[in-house]
Amino acid sequence: MKDTARKVFAIEIEALQHVAGLIDDEFTKVAQAILNNNGKLILAGIGKSGLIGKKIAATLSSTGTPAFFLHPGEAFHGDLGMVGVNDIVLLISYSGETDEVLKIIPFLKWNKNTIISITGNPNSTIAKHSKYHLNINVTREACPLALAPTSSTTAALVMGDALAVALMEAREFQEEDFARFHPGGRLGHKLLAKVKDLMRTENLPFINRDAGFTELLLRMSEGRLGMVIVGSADNFEGVVTDGDLRRALLRNADTSTLSILEMMSANPVIIDEDEFVNQAERLMVDKKITTILVGSANKRAVTGVYQIFN
Protein backbone atom coordinates (compact mmCIF):
# COMPACT_ATOMS: atom_id res chain seq x y z
CA MET A 1 0.00 0.00 0.00
CA LYS A 2 2.89 2.36 0.72
CA ASP A 3 4.28 1.62 -2.72
CA THR A 4 0.88 2.41 -4.24
CA ALA A 5 0.74 5.69 -2.37
CA ARG A 6 4.21 6.69 -3.59
CA LYS A 7 3.24 5.71 -7.13
CA VAL A 8 0.16 7.94 -7.00
CA PHE A 9 2.29 10.85 -5.81
CA ALA A 10 4.83 10.23 -8.58
CA ILE A 11 2.16 10.07 -11.30
CA GLU A 12 0.42 13.25 -10.13
CA ILE A 13 3.71 15.14 -9.74
CA GLU A 14 4.60 14.10 -13.30
CA ALA A 15 1.19 15.31 -14.47
CA LEU A 16 1.61 18.68 -12.75
CA GLN A 17 5.05 19.17 -14.26
CA HIS A 18 3.59 18.46 -17.70
CA VAL A 19 0.74 20.95 -17.19
CA ALA A 20 3.17 23.58 -15.88
CA GLY A 21 4.94 23.31 -19.22
CA LEU A 22 1.65 24.08 -21.01
CA ILE A 23 1.21 27.46 -19.31
CA ASP A 24 1.66 30.26 -21.83
CA ASP A 25 0.55 33.84 -22.47
CA GLU A 26 -3.08 32.71 -22.34
CA PHE A 27 -2.74 32.46 -18.55
CA THR A 28 -1.68 36.12 -18.38
CA LYS A 29 -4.65 37.10 -20.55
CA VAL A 30 -7.03 35.23 -18.23
CA ALA A 31 -5.61 36.90 -15.13
CA GLN A 32 -5.70 40.32 -16.78
CA ALA A 33 -9.30 39.85 -17.90
CA ILE A 34 -10.34 39.04 -14.33
CA LEU A 35 -8.37 41.99 -12.94
CA ASN A 36 -9.96 44.43 -15.39
CA ASN A 37 -13.49 43.11 -14.87
CA ASN A 38 -16.03 45.00 -12.75
CA GLY A 39 -18.25 42.02 -12.10
CA LYS A 40 -17.89 38.73 -10.27
CA LEU A 41 -16.09 35.57 -11.27
CA ILE A 42 -18.47 32.60 -11.48
CA LEU A 43 -17.18 29.02 -11.62
CA ALA A 44 -19.19 26.09 -12.91
CA GLY A 45 -18.56 22.39 -13.27
CA ILE A 46 -20.16 18.98 -12.67
CA GLY A 47 -19.04 16.10 -10.45
CA LYS A 48 -15.38 16.15 -9.41
CA SER A 49 -14.79 19.24 -11.56
CA GLY A 50 -17.62 20.92 -9.67
CA LEU A 51 -16.00 20.12 -6.33
CA ILE A 52 -12.73 21.57 -7.59
CA GLY A 53 -14.65 24.63 -8.80
CA LYS A 54 -16.09 25.17 -5.32
CA LYS A 55 -12.64 25.08 -3.77
CA ILE A 56 -11.17 27.47 -6.35
CA ALA A 57 -14.08 29.88 -5.84
CA ALA A 58 -13.50 29.80 -2.07
CA THR A 59 -9.77 30.46 -2.50
CA LEU A 60 -10.38 33.34 -4.91
CA SER A 61 -13.01 34.92 -2.66
CA SER A 62 -10.73 34.85 0.37
CA THR A 63 -7.83 36.36 -1.54
CA GLY A 64 -9.41 39.44 -3.06
CA THR A 65 -11.30 38.16 -6.12
CA PRO A 66 -15.09 37.98 -5.56
CA ALA A 67 -16.18 34.57 -6.84
CA PHE A 68 -18.85 31.94 -6.31
CA PHE A 69 -19.75 28.49 -7.61
CA LEU A 70 -22.79 27.93 -9.81
CA HIS A 71 -24.07 24.40 -10.34
CA PRO A 72 -24.78 23.98 -14.07
CA GLY A 73 -27.83 21.80 -13.46
CA GLU A 74 -29.40 24.34 -11.10
CA ALA A 75 -28.33 27.14 -13.45
CA PHE A 76 -30.31 25.58 -16.29
CA HIS A 77 -33.40 25.58 -14.06
CA GLY A 78 -33.41 29.19 -12.90
CA ASP A 79 -30.10 30.00 -11.24
CA LEU A 80 -28.81 31.69 -14.40
CA GLY A 81 -30.53 34.74 -12.92
CA MET A 82 -27.48 35.03 -10.66
CA VAL A 83 -25.26 35.76 -13.65
CA GLY A 84 -24.86 39.48 -14.27
CA VAL A 85 -23.89 40.98 -17.60
CA ASN A 86 -20.48 42.03 -16.25
CA ASP A 87 -19.63 38.65 -14.75
CA ILE A 88 -16.93 36.36 -16.08
CA VAL A 89 -17.79 32.65 -16.12
CA LEU A 90 -15.08 30.02 -15.70
CA LEU A 91 -16.17 26.57 -16.87
CA ILE A 92 -14.31 23.47 -15.66
CA SER A 93 -14.56 20.20 -17.57
CA TYR A 94 -11.62 17.93 -18.27
CA SER A 95 -13.20 16.43 -21.38
CA GLY A 96 -14.56 19.78 -22.47
CA GLU A 97 -17.74 18.00 -23.53
CA THR A 98 -19.77 17.83 -20.30
CA ASP A 99 -23.42 18.05 -21.35
CA GLU A 100 -24.71 20.05 -18.36
CA VAL A 101 -21.96 22.65 -18.86
CA LEU A 102 -22.56 22.85 -22.62
CA LYS A 103 -26.24 23.61 -22.01
CA ILE A 104 -25.56 26.92 -20.28
CA ILE A 105 -23.17 28.26 -22.95
CA PRO A 106 -25.95 29.64 -25.24
CA PHE A 107 -27.24 31.79 -22.38
CA LEU A 108 -23.75 33.03 -21.54
CA LYS A 109 -23.23 33.98 -25.18
CA TRP A 110 -26.59 35.76 -25.29
CA ASN A 111 -25.80 37.52 -22.00
CA LYS A 112 -22.43 38.59 -23.46
CA ASN A 113 -20.47 37.06 -20.59
CA THR A 114 -16.77 36.46 -21.03
CA ILE A 115 -16.21 32.69 -20.92
CA ILE A 116 -12.99 31.14 -19.61
CA SER A 117 -12.56 27.39 -19.60
CA ILE A 118 -10.24 24.91 -17.94
CA THR A 119 -10.18 21.64 -19.88
CA GLY A 120 -7.77 18.94 -20.95
CA ASN A 121 -8.71 19.31 -24.61
CA PRO A 122 -8.13 22.63 -26.44
CA ASN A 123 -10.19 21.32 -29.35
CA SER A 124 -13.24 20.49 -27.25
CA THR A 125 -16.62 22.18 -27.68
CA ILE A 126 -16.33 24.09 -24.40
CA ALA A 127 -12.80 25.28 -25.21
CA LYS A 128 -13.86 26.46 -28.68
CA HIS A 129 -16.76 28.48 -27.23
CA SER A 130 -14.48 30.17 -24.69
CA LYS A 131 -12.71 33.47 -25.14
CA TYR A 132 -9.82 32.14 -23.05
CA HIS A 133 -8.77 28.56 -22.43
CA LEU A 134 -6.39 27.04 -19.86
CA ASN A 135 -5.06 23.64 -20.89
CA ILE A 136 -4.67 21.03 -18.12
CA ASN A 137 -4.05 18.00 -20.31
CA VAL A 138 -2.34 15.38 -18.13
CA THR A 139 -0.08 12.52 -19.21
CA ARG A 140 -2.18 9.96 -17.30
CA GLU A 141 -4.56 9.54 -14.40
CA ALA A 142 -3.31 8.00 -11.16
CA CYS A 143 -6.32 5.70 -11.14
CA PRO A 144 -5.06 2.30 -12.43
CA LEU A 145 -8.25 1.92 -14.47
CA ALA A 146 -7.91 5.45 -15.86
CA LEU A 147 -11.53 5.98 -14.82
CA ALA A 148 -11.56 8.05 -11.62
CA PRO A 149 -10.42 11.67 -12.13
CA THR A 150 -7.20 11.95 -10.13
CA SER A 151 -4.29 13.65 -11.90
CA SER A 152 -6.74 15.74 -13.92
CA THR A 153 -8.61 17.10 -10.89
CA THR A 154 -5.30 17.82 -9.15
CA ALA A 155 -4.16 19.74 -12.23
CA ALA A 156 -7.41 21.75 -12.29
CA LEU A 157 -7.03 22.54 -8.59
CA VAL A 158 -3.43 23.70 -8.97
CA MET A 159 -4.34 25.79 -12.02
CA GLY A 160 -6.97 27.49 -9.86
CA ASP A 161 -4.43 28.06 -7.10
CA ALA A 162 -1.97 29.49 -9.62
CA LEU A 163 -4.63 31.89 -10.84
CA ALA A 164 -5.54 32.94 -7.30
CA VAL A 165 -1.92 33.59 -6.35
CA ALA A 166 -1.22 35.52 -9.56
CA LEU A 167 -4.25 37.71 -8.86
CA MET A 168 -3.19 38.19 -5.24
CA GLU A 169 0.21 39.45 -6.33
CA ALA A 170 -1.27 41.70 -8.99
CA ARG A 171 -3.66 43.21 -6.42
CA GLU A 172 -0.83 43.49 -3.85
CA PHE A 173 -3.08 41.56 -1.46
CA GLN A 174 -1.60 41.62 2.07
CA GLU A 175 -2.04 39.72 5.34
CA GLU A 176 -4.30 42.48 6.65
CA ASP A 177 -6.61 42.06 3.66
CA PHE A 178 -6.73 38.29 4.19
CA ALA A 179 -7.57 38.82 7.86
CA ARG A 180 -10.59 40.96 7.01
CA PHE A 181 -12.09 38.00 5.15
CA HIS A 182 -11.14 35.57 7.98
CA PRO A 183 -12.07 37.37 11.22
CA GLY A 184 -12.88 34.08 12.92
CA GLY A 185 -9.57 32.38 12.14
CA ARG A 186 -6.35 32.61 14.11
CA LEU A 187 -4.68 34.76 11.47
CA GLY A 188 -7.60 37.17 11.38
CA HIS A 189 -7.62 37.26 15.15
CA LYS A 190 -3.93 38.16 15.29
CA LEU A 191 -4.09 40.77 12.54
CA LEU A 192 -7.25 42.53 13.70
CA ALA A 193 -6.92 42.26 17.48
CA LYS A 194 -4.77 44.68 19.43
CA VAL A 195 -2.43 43.74 22.25
CA LYS A 196 -4.70 45.42 24.80
CA ASP A 197 -7.53 43.07 23.77
CA LEU A 198 -5.58 39.94 24.73
CA MET A 199 -2.99 41.01 27.30
CA ARG A 200 -3.10 39.89 30.90
CA THR A 201 -3.70 42.73 33.34
CA GLU A 202 -4.62 41.05 36.64
CA ASN A 203 -2.32 39.53 39.27
CA LEU A 204 0.83 40.54 37.47
CA PRO A 205 3.93 39.28 39.33
CA PHE A 206 5.45 42.52 40.59
CA ILE A 207 8.29 42.24 43.10
CA ASN A 208 10.43 44.63 45.12
CA ARG A 209 14.09 44.94 44.15
CA ASP A 210 15.12 44.00 47.70
CA ALA A 211 13.11 40.76 47.83
CA GLY A 212 14.93 37.55 48.67
CA PHE A 213 15.38 34.43 46.56
CA THR A 214 12.46 32.54 48.15
CA GLU A 215 10.01 35.39 47.48
CA LEU A 216 11.35 35.67 43.92
CA LEU A 217 10.74 31.97 43.32
CA LEU A 218 7.24 32.12 44.79
CA ARG A 219 6.22 35.19 42.80
CA MET A 220 7.53 33.67 39.57
CA SER A 221 5.62 30.44 40.23
CA GLU A 222 2.42 32.25 41.17
CA GLY A 223 2.59 34.54 38.17
CA ARG A 224 2.89 31.67 35.68
CA LEU A 225 4.52 33.94 33.15
CA GLY A 226 8.06 32.69 33.42
CA MET A 227 9.11 36.08 34.77
CA VAL A 228 8.63 38.69 37.47
CA ILE A 229 8.42 42.45 37.03
CA VAL A 230 10.75 44.40 39.32
CA GLY A 231 9.12 47.57 40.69
CA SER A 232 5.52 48.71 40.28
CA ALA A 233 3.03 49.27 37.46
CA ASP A 234 3.85 52.99 37.21
CA ASN A 235 7.58 52.60 37.82
CA PHE A 236 9.07 49.31 36.73
CA GLU A 237 12.81 48.78 36.91
CA GLY A 238 13.17 45.66 34.82
CA VAL A 239 12.32 41.96 34.69
CA VAL A 240 13.81 38.70 35.91
CA THR A 241 12.96 35.75 33.70
CA ASP A 242 13.28 32.06 34.52
CA GLY A 243 16.22 32.05 32.11
CA ASP A 244 17.91 34.85 34.11
CA LEU A 245 17.32 32.81 37.26
CA ARG A 246 18.81 29.62 35.82
CA ARG A 247 21.88 31.43 34.55
CA ALA A 248 22.38 33.07 37.94
CA LEU A 249 22.20 29.70 39.70
CA LEU A 250 24.77 28.25 37.33
CA ARG A 251 27.13 31.07 38.23
CA ASN A 252 26.40 30.97 41.95
CA ALA A 253 24.56 28.14 43.68
CA ASP A 254 24.39 30.04 47.00
CA THR A 255 20.84 31.43 46.84
CA SER A 256 21.35 33.54 49.96
CA THR A 257 23.72 35.82 48.05
CA LEU A 258 21.71 36.12 44.85
CA SER A 259 20.47 39.66 44.20
CA ILE A 260 17.46 40.59 42.07
CA LEU A 261 19.31 43.60 40.70
CA GLU A 262 22.17 41.37 39.55
CA MET A 263 19.79 39.00 37.76
CA MET A 264 17.48 41.68 36.38
CA SER A 265 17.28 42.82 32.76
CA ALA A 266 16.94 46.59 33.10
CA ASN A 267 15.76 47.22 29.52
CA PRO A 268 13.32 44.44 28.61
CA VAL A 269 11.38 44.38 25.36
CA ILE A 270 8.13 46.32 25.72
CA ILE A 271 5.30 47.09 23.32
CA ASP A 272 2.47 49.62 23.27
CA GLU A 273 -0.98 48.27 24.04
CA ASP A 274 -2.43 49.77 20.83
CA GLU A 275 -0.14 47.72 18.60
CA PHE A 276 -1.71 44.81 16.73
CA VAL A 277 -1.11 41.31 18.07
CA ASN A 278 0.57 40.34 14.83
CA GLN A 279 3.19 43.05 15.33
CA ALA A 280 3.76 41.93 18.90
CA GLU A 281 4.28 38.31 17.89
CA ARG A 282 6.67 39.26 15.10
CA LEU A 283 8.73 41.23 17.63
CA MET A 284 8.67 38.34 20.07
CA VAL A 285 9.78 35.82 17.46
CA ASP A 286 12.57 38.17 16.39
CA LYS A 287 13.74 38.59 20.00
CA LYS A 288 13.21 34.88 20.76
CA ILE A 289 10.89 35.53 23.70
CA THR A 290 7.42 34.18 24.53
CA THR A 291 6.30 36.88 26.99
CA ILE A 292 6.40 40.64 26.47
CA LEU A 293 5.64 43.63 28.68
CA VAL A 294 2.90 45.97 27.54
CA GLY A 295 3.18 49.64 28.36
CA SER A 296 5.59 52.52 27.86
CA ALA A 297 9.37 52.16 27.96
CA ASN A 298 9.82 55.93 28.21
CA LYS A 299 7.45 56.31 31.14
CA ARG A 300 8.62 53.03 32.71
CA ALA A 301 4.97 52.03 33.06
CA VAL A 302 3.46 48.56 32.66
CA THR A 303 -0.21 48.07 31.82
CA GLY A 304 -0.11 44.35 31.12
CA VAL A 305 1.74 41.31 29.82
CA TYR A 306 1.16 39.43 26.56
CA GLN A 307 2.17 35.81 25.96
CA ILE A 308 2.63 34.45 22.46
CA PHE A 309 0.89 31.20 23.39
CA ASN A 310 -2.21 32.92 24.77
Mean pLDDT of 2-28: 95
User: Beta strands 301-307 and 291-296: pairing type?
Assistant: antiparallel
For domain 195-307, give its CATH number from 3.10.580.10, 3.40.50.1100, 3.30.70.60, 3.40.50.720: 3.10.580.10
pLDDT in tens, 195-210: 888 888 888 999 998 8
Dihedral of the alpha carbons of 164, 167, 172, 178, in degrees to the nearest 10: -30
Nearest to 190 by CA among 283, 268, 269, 270: 283
42-to-31, 60, 291 alpha-carbon distances in Å? 14, 10, 46
Integer-rounded Cα radius of gyration of the chain: 29
Q: Quote the crossing angle between the two packed helices 242-251 and 213-223, to the nearest 10°.
A: 150
- Dist. CA 205–CA 143, nearest whole Å: 61
Q: Where are the domains of the chain?
A: 2-173, 195-307
Domain 2-173 -> CATH class: alpha beta
- Dist. CA 165–CA 143, nearest whole Å: 29
Q: What pLDDT does 310 receive? A: 47
Reading phi first (left if > 0) and then psi (alpha if -120 to 50, else beta), residue 97 is in alpha
pLDDT band at 99 (very low <50, low <70, confident <90, very high): very high
pLDDT in tens, 250-301: 888 788 888 888 888 888 889 898 888 878 888 888 888 888 899 887 778 8
pLDDT in tens, 148-180: 899 999 999 999 999 999 998 888 876 665 655
